[in-house]
Amino acid sequence: MKITEAELGAPCWAELATTDVPAAGSFYGALLGWRAETDPRPEAGGYTMMKLGEDPVAAASPQYQEGQPVAWTMSVAVADADATAKSARDAGGAVLMEPMDIFDQGRFAVLADPTGAVFSVWQAREFYGATRLNETGALCWVELRTPEPAAAQAFYTTVFGWSVNPGDGYTQWGIAGQDFGGMMEMGADFPAGIPPHWALYFGVDDVDATVAQAAELGGAVHVPGTDIPGTGRFAVLTDPQGGAFAVYTPLA
C-alpha cells in the first residue's frame, strides 16, 4: 500500500542496527527485494536506506552506541518528539536517547516502555517514513512481546492513545480505526534470556519459500512456517548478523 502521509500514533519506519551494513543490504536485498542506498555524507555515519524500487521502506545503520544489540526497531509517528518523550517518562517509561534533529528530515528519540521493550518515535519534517506498508517486501505488522502486558497496555494507551482489542491470549493494537499490531505475553514457553521486545513482520508472497531462501543466504530459522488460523502464515528468522525479524503471508 502506497503511503503519502504517516498516521500519527502508528508505526512509520523500521530500522536495523547491525554489525555489517553492506552484508545486511545483500541479505535483505536478496530476500525481500530491497535496494540498499547508503548516504554518502560522512556525518550520516553509514546510514543506509532500503528501498522497494524508489520507495523507502526501512533502513540499516551501524551500532552507534556501545553495547547496542543487533536488532530491528520500529518508529512511531508523532507530532512532537519532545512532548512524547516527556509523556513516556511520566507514564513510567525511559528515554534512552533524548530527542535530536536528524538533519532537516525530522526529530527522533529512542524510548523504552516500563517492561523494557525499546522503540523510537519520529517527528517528520522533510521525511515521514516508509512510503509502502502492508504489502510484499514492506513492514506489515508489529508485535510487542512482554512478560507484563497489563503494564504495557497502560503505557501505550496513555502515550499514543492506541485502541485495544483483547483476544484469547493476544491483544491487537489500533489507531484511527485500523489495527497495526499486537501484543502477547512472554510466558514460560519463551526461551530464557530473551528480553521484552517489539517484533517486526515483513510481507512476503510465500513464507516457506522465504524461510528456505533465508537459510541459503546464511540466516537462521527460529520459528518455521506456522499457520495462524483464519489469518495467514508466518515464520521468525534471524539474519546472518543476528537481527531477528518475522515474515508473513496473509490468506488469499
Q: Is residue 3 part of a domain?
A: no
Q: Which domain holds residue 84?
A: 11-124
64 and 159 housed in the same domain: no
99 and 67 housed in the same domain: yes
Cβ-in-10-Å burial (0-12, 13-18, 19+) of 18 comes to: buried
57 and 114 housed in the same domain: yes
pTM comes to 0.96
Instruction: Give the separation between CA 17 and CA 5, rounded to whole angstroms.
Output: 25
Q: List pLDDT tens digits, range 72-117.
A: 999 999 999 999 999 999 999 999 999 999 999 999 999 999 999 9
Total domains in the chain come to 2
Q: Is residue 133 part of a domain?
A: no
156 and 239 housed in the same domain: yes
16 and 108 housed in the same domain: yes
Q: Is residue 132 part of a domain?
A: no
Q: List pLDDT tens digits, range 147-176.
A: 999 999 999 999 999 999 998 889 999 999
3 has a pLDDT exceeding 70: no
210 has a pLDDT exceeding 90: yes
211 and 234 housed in the same domain: yes
Mean pLDDT of the chain: 96
Say which DSSP state 41 is in: -
Q: Is residue 5 part of a domain?
A: no
End position of a domain, from candidates 55, 89, 124: 124
